[in-house]
Amino acid sequence: MEWTDITITVPQKYADTAEAIATMVANGGIYIEDYSDLEQQAWEIAHVDLIEQDLLDQPRDVVKVHMYLAPDENLAEVLPLFRERLDASGIEYTLSTTGVEQEDWQNAWKKYYHAMDIGQRLAIVPGWEEYQTDRTVITMDPGMAFGTGTHETTSLCLEVLDARIKGGERMLDIGTGSGILAIAALKLGAAEAEGVDIDPMCVRTAGENAQRNGVQDRFKVLVGDLSDKASGVYNIITANIVASAILSLAPHVPALMAPGAVFIASGIIDTRKEEVLEGLRAAGLDPFEVHEKRGWVCIVCRKED
């Protein structure tokens, strides 16, 4: 079924007027794109500073109001009424329409996700794609969980794991998401892994991906946080989350590190690198490697002597 997306683009000062008009005309849903205070909203709503680059690149001086018409609604009737009310309001605007297949909302992202080589040994391959390679293959279907390998924060962690896994390690993945880091570690030779995430959907997805990769017997995935789910000590601990969360959990990490263990922290915007380095040192960790890629930072730590 094809819906129609009517998009009104207006200067930021006319946003309320455009929204009010769309609300009067629309029978379906309305979606508003307003990036004027993106960073502040992301922090206030979700307490995160990990924001996709394509969102950071969006114009900050305009607002887009999307109005969706169902397939049984008549665009030829609605559009003139919409234009009439916009013109009567005296605001500056541009109007465009596109067709949106309902199925695309869940599946369109897949066309951007293809097999990729990472580091010296890894290949990340979507479950729906064939890929011939001699590398260690991680088959992924992330669903709605974070972690495909395409984002810089994830690929940085995978590159560090690729260089550091020698075999037999015990691993903890904090905020496991799709489970990609733990699964990669296990397929590279780690003996066992635990993943924790506060989102039950992520835990379910990680479990499904572990099954898909044949490592389910060595990967325990739990709903919860670091404080109540971690057990014993680990040779490798990963946290591909956000700067604020890393700073919050850092004081608890040294007690979980076995002799010679490393803590890999990623999901850090480069503007917060120094703040996170300072916080890690204050928590008793020694950051001895810093990797950067297109504005993102991954920090590798050992426990201070």
Where in the chain are the domains?
2-102, 146-303
* CATH number assigned to the domain covering 2-102: 3.30.70.120
The two domains 2-102 and 146-303 share their CATH topology (first three levels equal): no
Query: pLDDT tens digit string along 88-140?
Result: 888 889 888 887 665 554 555 566 577 889 999 999 988 888 889 999 999 98
Confidence band for 295, pLDDT divided at 50, 70 and 90: confident
Q: What is the DSSP letter of 217?
A: G
pTM of the model: 0.67
Q: How far is CA 151 from CA 121, 206, 287, 296, in A?
A: 18, 17, 22, 10
Query: pLDDT tens digit string along 211-261?
Result: 999 999 999 998 887 656 777 899 999 999 888 889 999 999 999 999 999
Q: Under CATH, which architecture does the 146-303 domain have?
A: 3-Layer(aba) Sandwich (3.40)
Query: pLDDT tens digit string along 144-186?
Result: 445 566 678 888 999 999 999 999 999 999 989 889 999 999 9
Neighbours of 168 (CB within 10 A): 10
Neighbours of 180 (CB within 10 A): 28
Please, what is the angle between helix 200-212 and helix 180-188, to 10°?
30
